[in-house]
Amino acid sequence: MQEILAKYIPNAAVQPSFELIKANNVYLKIVNERVTRHGDYRKTPNGQHQITVNASLNKYRFLITLVHEIAHLVAFAKYGRYIKPHGLEWKRSFQVLMLPFIRPEVFPNQLLPLLALHFKNPKASSDTDAKLSLALKQYDAPNDKNFIFEIPPSGLFRLYNGKIFKRGNKRVKRYECLEVSTGRIYLFNPNAEVEFLRETS
C-alpha cells in the first residue's frame, strides 16, 4: 500500500497517510477520473469503509481529497450517521486530520498560507476556494481546460457532457450561464473547469 501511495501523494505524507488508512480500516480504491467529483466515501453493505479517489489528481489535491474522505468516516464514527455531510463535525474532523500535513515537507511554501486559511473553515470542496483552487491547478498536468471565471463575458464554453453554454454575469458567488440549446439559465461555480470555445459579440 505504501508503494502505491508514493505514486500519488508527496513522499513525506506517505507514512502518516498509510497510518490513517490502517487505523480507520479503509479500503482505498484509486479510480479513473470522474468529472463530477474528486473522491467519495461510503460504507458498503458488508460494513467495509470504502474510499475512492481519482487517479488523475495532482499529488497535493490527491492528499487533500484522501484526508477529506477519511474525515467523513471519522466524523460519522464519532458523531453518528445523522450529521450533515459537510457540517461542523466533519469540519472539525478534517481540521484535526489535516493539521499534521500542513508543513513544508509535504506542501510547497506557496500553498501553505492558502491551506492554513482554507482550514480555518474548510469547505465541502477545495474547488470553492478560488485562491487555493487556482494555486493547486499550477501542479496539474497540462490540459486545455479553463475555469469559468477565466471565460470572457458572453464567451462560449463546453462541458464534459458536450453541452454548450454562454457565460453571463456573476450573481453573488456563482456565474449565470445560458445553455445555448435550451435557453435555460444555470449557476456555475467560478472554479468549474470547462473547455473555452470562442468569444461572442
Structural domains of the chain, ranges and CATH numbers in brackets: 2-137 (3.30.2010), 146-198 (2.30.30.30)
Q: pTM to 2 decimals?
A: 0.81
Q: Which of 177, 175, 147 minimizes the C-alpha distance to 165?
A: 177
What phi and psi values does residue 157 have, to the nearest 5 degrees? -140, 160
Give the pLDDT confidence of 52-65 residue by residue, as tens digits: 999 989 999 999 99
Q: How far is CA 66 from CA 29, 31, 180, 182, in A?
A: 10, 13, 37, 38
Q: Taking a C-beta distance cutoff of 8 angstroms, is the pair 70, 24 a contact?
A: yes
- Whether 200 shows a pLDDT value over 90: the answer reads no
Q: How far is CA 120 from CA 37, 72, 113, 142, 170, in A?
A: 23, 17, 11, 30, 26
Give the pLDDT confidence of 69-91 residue by residue, as tens digits: 999 999 999 999 899 989 999 99
The gap between the terminal CA atoms of the chain, to the nearest Å, is 53
Count the Cβ atoms, other than its own, within 10 Å of residue 181: 9
What are the beta bridge partners of residue 171?
Answer: 174
Helix axes 88-98, 59-79, angle to 10 degrees: 130
Please, which pLDDT band fits residue 36 given cuts at 50, 70 and 90? low
